[in-house]
Structure 1
Amino acid sequence: MEEQRGPGSGSAWRGRGVGETWWVAGARGRWPWRSTALVTVFVLAGSHFAARNQTDRVALDLLARLLLITGCLVLLWRHRHPVPVAFATVVCASVYLGGGYPYGPVFLTVALACFSAIVAGHRRAAWSAAGLLWLGHLLLAHWLYAYLPPSGDGPRPWGQEGLVAAWVLAVVAVAELARVRREQGEQARAERERAARRRADEERLRIARELHDVLAHSISVINVQAGVGLALLDTDPEQARTALTTIKDASKEALGEVRQVLDTLRAPGAAPRAPAPGLDRLPELVEQAAGAGLTVDVRTDGRRPALPPGADLAAFRIVQEALTNVVRHSESRRARVQLRYAGNQLRLTVDDEGPASHAEAGGSGNGLAGMRERAAALGGTIEAGPRPDGGFRVVAELPLTAAPSKETPR
């Protein structure tokens, strides 16, 4: 893959600038027949008209017309091979002027070729071609004129060289402006694509997190109740029936939430069929935990404000994951959940008495990481670790205002 160069950097003659990707991708697949034909007609007609008013120059003959036509026809390759075409037009124009033929639109072919080369990213080559044309004209008009037709011709006025130099600079300036505009457009398109990929990655991460939280909690409850049901199937059928009922309810709820999450994949941008869970459903979590044999005490301090949807969902999922971890990893059958509202912040604490059970509990091991990601996405924090008395504590602090945007300002 060839090197991609940023705006403002001089590319090598065979290098490729940022704008060339756009230019070549859109131009290499076709030949510029129409524009080349129009330029050829204009150059031939303009040169013929100029010859009428420049009687001191050599009249147009077959060689002159061949040089004009050749300089125009090579423009067909200006998108595919811009550097050779730029120098080829300079050679044709220089030989034409060296033959003493009339001045006219012969310079148009050089301008168009240099323009294409600069836009394609070959800036130094185009500058060199334009500078070579000017130096060639300087040499022909002031040093070699005595050896070239027409006979008896004198040196050209030095003021004319200023006009030629101004013309060369104007062509280069216009081409550079077009190159910069194309590079800016290409960079803007690339930035939009990167932003779209970032949004897609964030959406995939959100869906993965939602699925993890839903499945981890529900399957943990199912796992515990299945163990209870198996243990009591023969000795206490009624209790085993209760465990199976809990499994049925937990699996039904899990299927509903998974279906809700997956609906966003099937119909991007469509509104969900059910609202996202929030702290209003905390009693359901408590009931599910009770079905798994865990008693949960909930305490609320402060007046609960209207929660932003993101903070409400994050708080629910953090409590859900914390209780799931208690069911999985603790021998304690009691947990405490404290919600403290203070100003624009929610402090959420989940405690269990421990000790930790060392039995294999399954799971992905990403629960705490998922909680930290949820809190960080809102500008909050999570602290989780063992307590001095042997239990475990999860403390989350979530702002109740929108997190500042992380996008780079344009």
Structure 2
Amino acid sequence: MDDARPPRARHRPGAERWFRPPDEERRGPAGTRPPWLSTLLVTAVVLIGSGFAGRNQPQRVPLDHVGYALLCAGGVLLLFRHRFPRTVTCGTAAMTAGYLAAGYPYGPVFAITALGVFAGIVGGHRRVAWAALGGLWLSHLVLAHWLYAWLPPAHDHAAPWGQELIVTAWAVAVVAVSELVRVRREQLAKVRAERAAAARRRADEERLRIARELHDVLAHSISVINVQAGVGLALLDDDPEQARTALTTIKAASKEALGEVRHVLDTLRAPGDAPRSPAPGLDRLPELTEQAKGAGLAVDVTTEGGHTALPPGTDLAAFRIVQEALTNIVRHSGSRTARVLLRYGPRSLEIGVDDDGPATTGQGEPAGGGNGLVGMRERAAALGGTVEAGPRADGGFRVRARIPLAAPPGRATGTDTVTPDATEEES
């Protein structure tokens, strides 16, 4: 049986944990928590680093209360970088431009802008982030080469053009790293979505498989019980011995049904454990014919070709197809005889089930209200096979199934799951 358990969400190997989006991004803006720790760390590094940088740049304006206020304002903006990435990106770029226009020392101040641009790009606002970073680069270019004479510090000189190469390389590096992380996060989000979809699909397929098993088990057994109960009631006064036989058949059918239902429920309770009893197969066909005989249906089984051992999934599907076909005859046909043909070929197993009719409850009608034929087709399709069913020209009904003995590419032989076709209905 397929393992419908979802993949472990806590295990993130390798570099994935470095690229995963923060929890507040996954929860959305309504549940955002400010990133206090990282913001405090960056702000502290910028404040301390800018102080040391000012000592080595005596030509720049020393840091004062206004300079520290600008740096702290940038840190406050970073607290909201996950919730308002566009505002923070533009705000940090404007803060840095104002800081440079005031003539304060170069240094870690650019880390605030880098983090703001990073949040903008990773948050999906690439054009805003590029525009903000480009505006900062352009403002630095204008300040350093044209407006320096009117701005502090006094008696300043134009910056060397070689410095612009460093600034340009820094801007390109910020954009490149941000884009790399953005692409990686999108890839991981896609992988997570695909894993979740696969887990949901496996769970749906497993529920469908269990529903099919329960339907096949209960429909057959309850049909036998229903027929025998009617016989017992009819003969209770006139032929008590025959009524006793009917009750015995009911007891045996109900016991077998309980056993098979327990087997299905055991696999549902412990999906990772091996089943406690083997799944039914064609080796139990004699039991099936005896049950049908108890319901008043004589079954003639013919086998052609060399009998070969079947894979568990194929064996179970073949047994269930025959079982469902006989159940439909008991329920919907006035015939008291049925013929089962098993033809073993080198590449496929062909199954045929015929009765001579006539239909008593619309067996031959193309539109029915049950799921028997749907289940047959799903079982065969899961193994790459087909099922054809319909009325015969002489008034009977025929079921033909073909199941490959080798699983087609992309299918597991023991797997019994496909998407149901809502247009196919039971006869």
TM-score (norm 2): 0.86
CA distance in 1, matches of 2:324, 2:120: 60
Asked if 1:54 corresponds to 2:57, the answer is yes
| Deviation of the 1:124 alpha carbon | 2.1
Matching residue of 1:102:
105
Residue by residue, what CA displacement relative to the aligned partner does 1:270-327 show, whole Å, maximum 9, x if unpaired?
A: 2222111000000001100110111111111111112011110000000000111111
CA distance in 2, matches of 1:101, 1:57: 6
Asked if 1:71 corresponds to 2:65, the answer is no
Matching residue of 2:347:
344
| Deviation of the 1:34 alpha carbon | 2.9
Residue 19 of structure 1 contacts residue 119 of structure 1 at CA under 8 Å; is this kept in 2? no
Matching residue of 2:25:
24
Structure 2 gaps of 5+ residues are 1-18, 413-427
Residue by residue, what CA displacement relative to the aligned partner does 1:329-385 show, whole Å, maximum 9, x if unpaired?
A: 11111111110011020001111111222489xx95211111011110110001111
SS at match of 2:389: strand
Matching residue of 1:200:
203
Residue 23 of structure 1 contacts residue 119 of structure 1 at CA under 8 Å; is this kept in 2? no
Asked if 1:159 corresponds to 2:157, the answer is no
Residue by residue, what CA displacement relative to the aligned partner does 1:232-255 show, whole Å, maximum 9, x if unpaired?
A: 122211111111111111111111
Higher mean C-alpha deviation, range 72-81 or range 90-99: 72-81
Task: Select which of 401, 405, 408 maps to 2:410.
Answer: 405
- 1:239-278 matches, within 5 Å, as 239-278=242-281
Asked if 1:38 corresponds to 2:31, the answer is no
Asked if 1:394 corresponds to 2:399, the answer is yes
CA distance in 2, matches of 1:219, 1:326: 14
CA distance in 2, matches of 1:244, 1:382: 35
Task: Select which of 284, 288, 291 maps to 1:288.
Answer: 291
Asked if 1:82 corresponds to 2:85, the answer is yes
TM-score (norm 1): 0.89
- 1:107-122 matches, within 5 Å, as 107-122=110-125
From the superposition, tell whether residues 184 and 22 of structure 1 become closer, same or farther in structure 2 (CA, over 3 Å).
farther
| Deviation of the 1:75 alpha carbon | 1.7
Asked if 1:372 corresponds to 2:373, the answer is no
From the superposition, tell whether residues 56 and 358 of structure 1 become closer, same or farther in structure 2 (CA, over 3 Å).
closer
CA distance in 2, matches of 1:235, 1:394: 38
How many matched pairs?
389
Matching residue of 1:382:
387
SS at match of 2:79: helix
Residue 42 of structure 2 contacts residue 75 of structure 2 at CA under 8 Å; is this kept in 1? yes
Aligned sequence identity (%): 68
Residue 382 of structure 2 contacts residue 411 of structure 2 at CA under 8 Å; is this kept in 1? no
Higher mean C-alpha deviation, range 245-254 or range 51-60: 51-60
Residue by residue, what CA displacement relative to the aligned partner does 1:177-197 show, whole Å, maximum 9, x if unpaired?
A: 111122222221221111111
CA distance in 2, matches of 1:29, 1:92: 24
CA distance in 2, matches of 1:103, 1:70: 17
Matching residue of 1:7:
none
SS at match of 1:79: coil
From the superposition, tell whether residues 50 and 374 of structure 1 become closer, same or farther in structure 2 (CA, over 3 Å).
same
CA distance in 2, matches of 1:72, 1:29: 17
Asked if 1:227 corresponds to 2:230, the answer is yes
Matching residue of 2:143:
140
SS at match of 2:334: coil
CA distance in 2, matches of 1:348, 1:182: 51
| Deviation of the 1:117 alpha carbon | 2.2
Aligned-residue CA RMSD (Å) = 2.3
Matching residue of 1:297:
300
| Deviation of the 1:22 alpha carbon | 5.5
From the superposition, tell whether residues 364 and 249 of structure 1 become closer, same or farther in structure 2 (CA, over 3 Å).
farther
SS at match of 1:77: coil
Residue by residue, what CA displacement relative to the aligned partner does 1:61-81 show, whole Å, maximum 9, x if unpaired?
A: 222222122222322222232
SS at match of 1:55: coil
| Deviation of the 1:32 alpha carbon | 2.8
SS at match of 2:137: helix
From the superposition, tell whether residues 378 and 352 of structure 1 become closer, same or farther in structure 2 (CA, over 3 Å).
same
| Deviation of the 1:53 alpha carbon | 2.6
